[in-house]
Amino acid sequence: MRYAVLGTGVVGRTIAGKLSSLGHEVVVGTRDPQATLARTEPDGYGNPPYARWQAEHPQVRVATFADATASAEAVVNATPGLSTLRVLESAGAANLAGKTVIDIANPLDSSRGMPPSLDPVGDDSLGERIQRAFPEAKVVKTLNTMNARIMVDPARVGGAHTVFVSGDDAGAKGAVRDMLMSFGWPADDIIDLGDITTARGAEMLLPIWLRLYGALGHADFNFHIQGAHRSA
């Protein structure tokens, strides 16, 4: 399958690397590929420059947002949540129409200090905003409630734990479910929350996730919903 992964940060790299290792054709989207490849300094989080990762993954191409999405069958949004709509506008509505857009971003706003807050929150979500802005896309919210390494390697956390899925299109959610299972997620640990409005709940887990990260001092943890598949 042909995937466009939008975002060159650690989340985008992790997802792109995993998809490529599974045999998919992957293009990473960025605003200016030449500028991205020319950077030699670590990013703001101390991660090595993208060019070093690219050299280790020569089978993954890098392109503009529009070029990456034009040839893709599915699109992964791994951009910072507050810039997501601008990025997707750069990609172009025509390049997203009819395609599954897998939204793993969180709308974290650090303008009022740390830890960051959510914007929107409560009566809206980033997933919903994407769906409204691009009504012909099939938006599915998932994987936003955990560290990137756990997204593609759930065995990092011992025992059963949970990944959520939200979206309006049953076929798109089925495709995302297949992708998650290829990452190693057992079927029983994937919970379909319902339509795209349920992305509000998944995104609102981030404040407690951030505080757990601060309390535990590491990110190798996840949420587990006990009894989720109990018979009626």
> How far apart, in whole angstroms, are the C-alpha atoms of residue 140 and residue 176?
8
Is 25 exposed, middle or buried (CB count within 10 Å of its CB: 0-12, 13-18, 19+)?
middle
Query: What architecture (CATH level 2) is domain 2-216?
Result: 3-Layer(aba) Sandwich (3.40)
Query: Side-chain half-sphere of 210: how many Cα atoms within 13 Å?
Result: 14
pTM of the model: 0.95
- Residue 192 CB contacts under 8 Å (≥ 6 apart), including other chains: 164, 165, 166, 173, 177
Closest to 147 (Cα-Cα) out of 106, 117, 112, 100: 106
Structural tokens at position 197: 């409005």
Is the N-terminal amide bond of 120 cis, ω within 30° of 0? yes
Q: Please tell me the predicted confidence (pLDDT) of residue 231.
A: 44
* Conformational region of residue 7, where left means phi above 0, alpha means psi within -120 to 50, and beta covers everything else: left
Is the N-terminal amide bond of 48 cis, ω within 30° of 0? no
Q: Please tell me the predicted confidence (pLDDT) of residue 112.
A: 80
Domain boundaries, the chain: 2-216
Full pLDDT tens readout for the chain, 232 residues:
999 999 999 999 999 999 999 999 999 999 999 999 999 888 877 889 999 999 999 999 999 999 999 999 999 999 999 999 999 999 999 999 999 999 999 999 887 888 888 998 999 999 999 999 999 999 999 999 999 999 999 999 999 999 999 999 999 999 999 999 999 999 999 999 999 999 999 999 999 999 999 999 999 999 999 986 654 3
Q: Please tell me the predicted confidence (pLDDT) of residue 45.
A: 76
